[in-house]
Amino acid sequence: MENIKGKVVVITGASSGIGEATALLLASHGAKVVLAARRADRLEHLKKRIHTEGGEAEYLVTDVKLRKDLFKLVDFATNRFGRMDVLVNNAGIAHLSRIDQTEVEDWEEMIDINLKGVLYGIAAVMPVFKTQGSGHIINIISTSGIKIVPLQGVYAGTKNAVRTISEALRQESNGKYRVTGISPGFINTELADHMKEPAIQMATREMAAKIAISPDAIAGAVLYAVSQPDNVDVGDIVVRPTVQD
């Protein structure tokens, strides 16, 4: 884990769930974390907690739907710490519905956050990584992009797109920077809070109570990937409950 100490890590969607757990874990191992999300109060609270526990953190309110926000975020991190080593593209949202319900606004929001938000992050950080000659992009994907089920078609589509982009970017890098895709299964997060259909929301919460695992499990996977020697690229990790199909 010595390889992680002092690294500058930017995490989107850091105000809760996987992003929050990742920030806490990496900071506890000596990383300098830059927290990004839309909820300033949650970011401020997390920053204070990390400082109280002896870590180093800064934050910037960021909406990954806005390309300019991602460029501001990267500029903020590099100006504050002088470099940037890792981008964790974690921000995401899930709207579950049948495709023939044509919930187009929900589709657009998932595309804007889950897919375009990741691409904006890559676009913002790539000039820095090229100048440094090193860097690491970690994309939080989903097992929904591995096993396709009803109600998750468009959500899974955005996640499969990120999976494809991650692998293409890894191959194109020729070892100049590392790319990791991490696919969480059923994780205990605020996922159900964003669901509009009461029946789907209730079913998701019931399932979460039965099988969901802690966001700490995904944070551990991020820590593992980041802590590898510079010549080791962990390409793809799947982390899910042992009982999940």
Sign of the Cα torsion 61, 13, 137, 232 reads positive
Please identify every residue annotated as catalytic.
155
